[in-house]
A = this chain, B = another copy of it.
Amino acid sequence: MPKIDLDAIAQTNRTGYPAPYDAEVQGRLYRRLAPATGLTAFGVSHVVLKPGAWSSQRHWHVGEDEFLVMVAGEAVLVDDEGEHVLRPGDCAAFPMNDGNGHHVQNRSGEDCVFVVVGAGENKGGDYSDIDMRFTADDGYVHKDGRPYETRRVP
């Protein structure tokens, strides 16, 4: 059925981030909508951030575009240009390979909800604030290339 029964899709806070970088995403609850609905041309995640949670470590993708639309609550988008409050209906676009690390933080006292779409080719990417990169084969490495022991969640 085209209208999605969100409650029927498993919600998880799983992350592959190595400690201590996993701490900020413990309150990030997401659903992968594309595999559940038969979409193959792009990925879609429905994300709830509990108060204090982050969407991810601040990052950018070499080969993938991302687009976010805010659905409920309030969040703060952080990127190289500063901080921008996002409220329902606000949208943000992150073109591949722009080098502008971004993420969303819930600094409010209530849950916030957004939908994020991604597509392109996984060529890895970089984190702006920590000693970590991600690779095209879904590994995590230090800036100097030494691997972490954990891997990205597919």
Q: Please list the residues of chain A having a beta carbon within 8 angstroms of any beta carbon in chain B.
A: 1-4, 6, 33-34, 37-42, 44, 46, 64-65, 67, 69, 71-72, 77, 79, 81, 84, 86, 88-96, 98, 100, 102, 113, 115, 117-120
User: Which of B2, B37, B38, B77 touches A77 (beta carbons < 8 Å)?
Assistant: B2
With CB as the reference atom, state the residue of chain B lying closest to A63. B41
Knowing A33-B67, A65-B39, A94-B2, say if A113 contacts B89 (CB, 8 Å). Answer: yes
Cβ contact within 8 Å between B41 and A93: no
Give complex CA distance A88, B69 in Å: 12
Chain B nearest CB: distance from A107 CB in Å? Answer: 16
- Max count, chain B CB within 10 A of own CB: residue among A38, A46, A72, A113: A38
Cβ contact within 8 Å between A42 and B42: yes
A86 surroundings in chain B (CB, below 8 A) = 3
A96 surroundings in chain B (CB, below 8 A) = 40-41
Knowing A2-B102, A3-B77, A88-B72, say if A64 contacts B41 (CB, 8 Å). Answer: yes
User: Which of B42, B72, B93, B95 touches A67 (beta carbons < 8 Å)?
Assistant: B42
Give complex CA distance A2, B102 in Å: 8
Contact sample, A vs B, 30 pairs, CB 8 Å cutoff? A1-B79, A1-B84, A2-B79, A2-B81, A2-B94, A3-B91, A4-B90, A4-B91, A4-B92, A4-B93, A6-B91, A33-B67, A37-B93, A37-B95, A39-B67, A39-B93, A40-B65, A41-B64, A41-B65, A41-B96, A41-B118, A42-B42, A42-B117, A44-B91, A46-B91, A69-B69, A69-B115, A71-B71, A88-B88, A115-B115
